[in-house]
Amino acid sequence: MSDGRSTRILFIGDLVGGLGRRTLLGLLPRLREQHEPTFVVVNGENVAGGLGITPKIADELFAAGVDVITLGNHTYHRREIYSYLDDNERILRPANYLASQPGHGSCIVEVGGVRLGVVNLSGNVFLRAGRPAFTEMDAVLGRLEGKTDHILVDMHAEATSEKVALGWYLDGEVTAVVGTHTHVPTADLRVLPKGTAYITDVGMTGPRGGVIGVKREQAIESLRTHMNVRFETSEEDPWLMGVLITCDPDRRHRATAIEQLLVPWDG
């Protein structure tokens, strides 16, 4: 394994709409200069108008230097992404979706001689996934065995208990387990006893002035009236939310630190 002292993984939480995309693109050069990440991984399942992702947006993120894009329950919202998911190994849908569904759930990328495996999972509690996340992760680890220096898992899940349980389940088996989907950053980031960096939810990159990305007036109306309301992405108070994971230089699949990044964007 190459010098792990310089190996850092920058993971950016759910990009929400065009504002989330612009926030990432606007702040990424500064984050690269400040933190010198080896790998950049981004969850992009809400980046196209708040729902799904398109090939054009994915290409733009890759062109900006994103190494891997992970997705989630809105993976298939836009049909034009189906063939792109099959053709591009660096954009992932949850591994525990059905094998018949477009795309794949894990990949390996290499930078400077360091091989990073990235795995995307969907929670089963309150979300629809084809197979159990825990047993699917066992199968993925079997396929990745001996092929990676570090492994990052994006657990896209609604239930905090399910994410916490997965973190403990994978402690010592992977470098990091990061939670996405609920769009609100949690305060429980830590390195677990056997060396796996963990956080229940990284948060979202986009409009903090809304309600988890939606214009707040629309969210309030929906909750107050219990009627259908057409949601639009807010454009207020953009923030980037992510974590920086420092990998152990001496042990595979281990972390030494995880740092939360909550950065406002004034662009």
Sequential DSSP letters for 11-57? EE-EEBHHHHHHHHHHHHHHHHHHH--SEEEEE-TBTTTTS---HHH
Structure tokens at 234: 């807010």
| Length, in residues, of the chain | 267
Active site residue 74: yes
What is the per-residue pLDDT for 1?
A: 42
Distances (CA, A) of 123 to 66, 97, 143, 232: 24, 10, 21, 25
Backbone angles phi, psi at 60, to 5 degrees: -65, -40
pTM: 0.95
Q: Is 67 annotated as a binding residue?
A: no
Residues 130-140, mean pLDDT to the nearest whole number: 97
Domains and CATH numbers, the chain: 4-264 (3.60.21.10)
In the set 74, 150, 226, 253, the catalytic residue is: 74
Structure tokens at 154: 């994006």
Q: Is 120 annotated as a binding residue?
A: no
Q: Is 14 annotated as a binding residue?
A: yes
Mean of the per-residue pLDDT values for the chain? 96
What is the per-residue pLDDT for 163?
A: 98
- Residues 217-265: pLDDT tens digits? 999 999 999 999 999 999 999 999 999 999 999 999 999 999 999 999 9
Residues 79-90, mean pLDDT to the nearest whole number: 97
What is the per-residue pLDDT for 2?
A: 43
- Residues 179-211: pLDDT tens digits? 999 999 999 999 999 999 999 999 999 999 999
